Structure 1
Amino acid sequence: MTGLRIALLTHSTNPRGGVAHCLALAEALCALGHEAVVHAPDPSGRGFFRAAACPTVSVSARTVAGDTVELVQTRINDYLVHFGSPAACGFDVFHAHDGIGGNALATLKQRRLIPGFVRTVHHLDTFADPQLADWQDRSIQEARRILCVSQGWTDQVRSDFGAMPEVVGNGVDMAAYQPAPDLQDAAVRQRWGLGDGPIVLAIGGFEARKNTLGIIEAFARLRERRPGTQLVIAGGASLLDHASYRARCHAALTVHGLAAGANGPVIETGPVPQADMPALYRIADMLAFPSLKEGFGLCVLEAMACGTPVIVSHRPPFTEYLAEGDALFVDPAAPDDIARAMAIALVPETHDRLRLAGFARAAAHSWRACAERHLDAYAGCARIRQEPTHA
């Protein structure tokens, strides 16, 4: 396939899994000889959370003080303003990675500014607000081709929408995420006040689908047996409002005498600079990721590439790409089960076994292979270029 110009749209410049996937996919597509340009609304004007080896566009975006519906509508309109002229739509393929970009592209298709678009469904949300639910549905129903990162969500989209999605999976950059320690490890340990005791790492901030409450309850049980253990809750940048769940998590920490704070038993980092993430994984004795609902779990591969044992839910998507010996599988609804897995992960023999198995599993997932799986979908949606005529 000759080089394509591909516009990839994601919802944010912040370090979320879907955004990380979008950037890494674009980099791999560029390495294959295509021009893949990642777009995202950027109200801060600071650009993407990491430097990228692909073109990026920070779409001018207005500040929003209202609720989630107003925020999503504004972000859709931000995209429509950006792509509002034929000149801005000079791409062969348009590829949305979320409902915001998908709705913008659906409107551009209706206005005949683009021929159609590809939509990747990382996961489906359950929205109480009918407008948010309608936007999610429209972004999928109007797409010409639908992709999913896991088989479970492929089956769900097929059931809910009667569509025939294709599985494209995920990858991990083994050059960036490595097990060998470096000087950054000590700097990160000092920055977050991490001691010499065991470190449990949780990614995703305080969010219900990430099962942060279950992790907190399990950690409280583990700390009764290992008093020096610390829990690091990293990340959490999100367009959705998780304030009420966050309050519940902090209440649970208070009940257990584990109030989050500097140098304490629980460290809340907020979004972590990309340059610090490999070190944070390496410092951790385990990644606790017993999600209740997950698209794929990109941080699982990142942790494994850094040699960090992983605890995951015994359910898809994890059971799709991990074998029993790759990770510790738990019932995410059972804090006792999660706590037992945390304790087992600290056993030296188990830790070493999981370290080796996880590294091998991560090495089997390349972004190049992921990018190649996208090319058939792109070929079916590419704008037909008009070749110049000669008199």
Structure 2
Amino acid sequence: MPGGPARIAILATSTSPRGSVAHALAVGEALCDLGHEAVVHAPDPTGRGFYRNARCPVVSVAARRVGGSTADLVRARIEDYLRHFATPAACDFDVFHAQCGIGGNALATLGRRRLVHAFVRTVHHLESFADPQLAYWQDRAIYDASRLLCAGRSAADALARDHGVAALVVGNGVDQTLFRPQAEPGDETLRLRWGLSPGPVVLCVGGFEERRNSLAVIEAFLRLRAERPRAQLLVVGGGSILDHAGYQARCRAALDQAGLEVGIGRAVIQPGLVPQDEMPGFYRLADILAAPALRGGFGPSVLEAMACGTPVVGAARAPFTEVLAGSDACLVDPEDAGKIADAFRAALEPGERARLAAAGRKVAALHGWAACASRHLSAYAACSRRNRATADA
């Protein structure tokens, strides 16, 4: 970046293992490897810190525990950030970068208070909010940003179409030193702890959510299990700041209606949030990553699975088709549970499984975090306090 190394404040949604948080930490680490000082911040009401150790500096922002609606929670998290960055000393960074609408709204307010001069915003995906306050916050964090970034072309196209603004596509990445196909001793420990059978094991990452198309995945899994009674559905992660309780109840009702038990060693296993160092083992123990998302969906988990040699069943639509060819994964119509089930069957055939594993590893090798971080630098330069001060002098 012109002017030498920069001090960059990256604001994430939370300290939990969500896709945007994983992206924030990985970009922060890669920026530090490039010689910058990137500090990743996130509200932390638990006081436990980030879900994994990071090679870049991190700050757990003091945050209150909040009940009530999603809007109440978002408002509280914006206020948490405003308290943290309340003084010029706390805002002593060259660049501010929001990875979410919460951070974007906090930085917009700090700009009006003349504590922040400009900020970069990454838009991972857009939500359709019925609550006008949530919709307002989403729009404000977009329109008030000085530069916009997106992980995928489809999000950038949506911003251009629906908001009339341009965004730079920076992509995603994967750490192939951590996510790799070679089995580790801890894999068998994971298998025994969670009662994974010979399978096949269908893995979902991120919990039950509507945008992840969980109901269709459940229906496709039921069709597979009718033919392969030892099949298991492994659902790792969850913990979104948005309220998915209604949809999660529908998913649980679908499982109950089908007579599928949830628990260790059962048909459906839900470990919930797990340590980062266990994720490669979960990918390697799975026979398929099920990710036929309706919206968004091409987060780090797809590349992580591919790096571990796990075949991916994804959606035959953007953002998958921006990165993957039809030969790299089983891409299907996400609205058709029958097609998803057919893709499960195809990916389990030994020859096809081996081919997809090899193709996936090649795709993952093309997506390093260093290249992703480097694509941020032009936006950072445009928003740098140091560069702006030089231009005004």
Q: Give the TM bin, normalised by the shorter chain.
A: over 0.9
| 1:155-190 deviation line (CA, Å, top 9, x unaligned) | 110112211111000100000001000101101111
Partner of 2:10: 8
Q: Give me the whole-angstrom Cα distance separating, in 2, the residues matched to 1:325 and 1:184.
A: 31
Aligned partner letter, 1:82: H
Q: Give me the whole-angstrom Cα distance separating, in 2, the residues matched to 1:255 and 1:335.
A: 17
Q: Secondary structure at the match of 1:38?
A: strand
Identify unmatched segments of 5+ residues in structure 2: none
2:201 to 196, 199, 202: 199
Greater Cα shift, 61-70 or 356-365: 61-70
2:269 to 267, 270, 276: 267
| Aligned pairs for 1:236-251 within 5 A | 236-251=238-253
Cα distance, 1:197 vs structure 2: 2.1
Asked if the contact 1:153–1:295 (Cα under 8 Å) also holds between the matched residues in 2, the reply is: no
Q: Give me the whole-angstrom Cα distance separating, in 2, the residues matched to 1:234 and 1:358.
A: 21
Question: Normalising by the residue count of structure 2, what TM-score does the alignment of the two structures yield?
Answer: 0.97
Q: Give me the whole-angstrom Cα distance separating, in 2, the residues matched to 1:296 and 1:251.
A: 27
| Aligned pairs for 1:69-88 within 5 A | 69-88=71-90
| Aligned pairs for 1:309-388 within 5 A | 309-384=311-386
Query: Are residue 179 (structure 1) and residue 181 (structure 2) matched?
Result: yes
Cα distance, 1:124 vs structure 2: 0.4
Q: Secondary structure at the match of 2:97?
A: strand
Q: Give me the whole-angstrom Cα distance separating, in 2, the residues matched to 1:162 and 1:331.
A: 29
Partner of 1:164: 166
Question: Normalising by the residue count of structure 1, what TM-score does the alignment of the two structures yield?
Answer: 0.98
| 1:99-157 deviation line (CA, Å, top 9, x unaligned) | 00000000000111111100000000111100000000000000000001111110110
2:123 to 107, 121, 124: 121
| Aligned pairs for 1:23-172 within 5 A | 23-172=25-174
Cα distance, 1:207 vs structure 2: 0.5
Q: Give me the whole-angstrom Cα distance separating, in 2, the residues matched to 1:181 and 1:296.
A: 25
| 1:231-259 deviation line (CA, Å, top 9, x unaligned) | 10111111111111111101111111112
Q: Give me the whole-angstrom Cα distance separating, in 1, the residues matched to 2:346 and 2:162.
A: 39
Q: Secondary structure at the match of 2:122?
A: strand
Q: Give me the whole-angstrom Cα distance separating, in 1, the residues matched to 2:298 and 2:116.
A: 30
Q: Give me the whole-angstrom Cα distance separating, in 2, the residues matched to 1:25 and 1:380.
A: 18
Over aligned residue pairs, what C-alpha RMSD do you find? Answer: 1.0
Partner of 1:228: 230
Asked if the contact 1:149–1:295 (Cα under 8 Å) also holds between the matched residues in 2, the reply is: no
Cα distance, 1:333 vs structure 2: 0.8
| 1:192-242 deviation line (CA, Å, top 9, x unaligned) | 110112111011111100111111000000001111111101111111111
Q: Secondary structure at the match of 1:208?
A: coil
Asked if the contact 2:212–2:297 (Cα under 8 Å) also holds between the matched residues in 1, the reply is: no
Cα distance, 1:295 vs structure 2: 5.3
Q: Secondary structure at the match of 1:294?
A: coil
Aligned partner letter, 2:139: D
Cα distance, 1:297 vs structure 2: 2.4
Asked if the contact 1:150–1:295 (Cα under 8 Å) also holds between the matched residues in 2, the reply is: no
Aligned partner letter, 2:183: P
Q: Give me the whole-angstrom Cα distance separating, in 2, the residues matched to 1:193 and 1:272.
A: 16
Cα distance, 1:299 vs structure 2: 0.4
Q: Could you tell me the percent identity over the aligned residues?
A: 58
Q: Give me the whole-angstrom Cα distance separating, in 1, the residues matched to 2:208 and 2:90.
A: 38
Aligned partner letter, 1:364: L
Aligned partner letter, 2:203: L
| 1:247-296 deviation line (CA, Å, top 9, x unaligned) | 11011111111121221111111112111100000000010100011153
Identify unmatched segments of 5+ residues in structure 1: none
Q: Give me the whole-angstrom Cα distance separating, in 2, the residues matched to 1:307 and 1:169.
A: 21
Q: Give me the whole-angstrom Cα distance separating, in 2, the residues matched to 1:97 and 1:182.
A: 33
Aligned partner letter, 2:357: R
Asked if the contact 1:122–1:295 (Cα under 8 Å) also holds between the matched residues in 2, the reply is: no
Aligned partner letter, 1:141: Y
Query: Are residue 288 (structure 1) and residue 294 (structure 2) matched?
Result: no
Partner of 1:188: 190
Q: Secondary structure at the match of 1:89?
A: coil
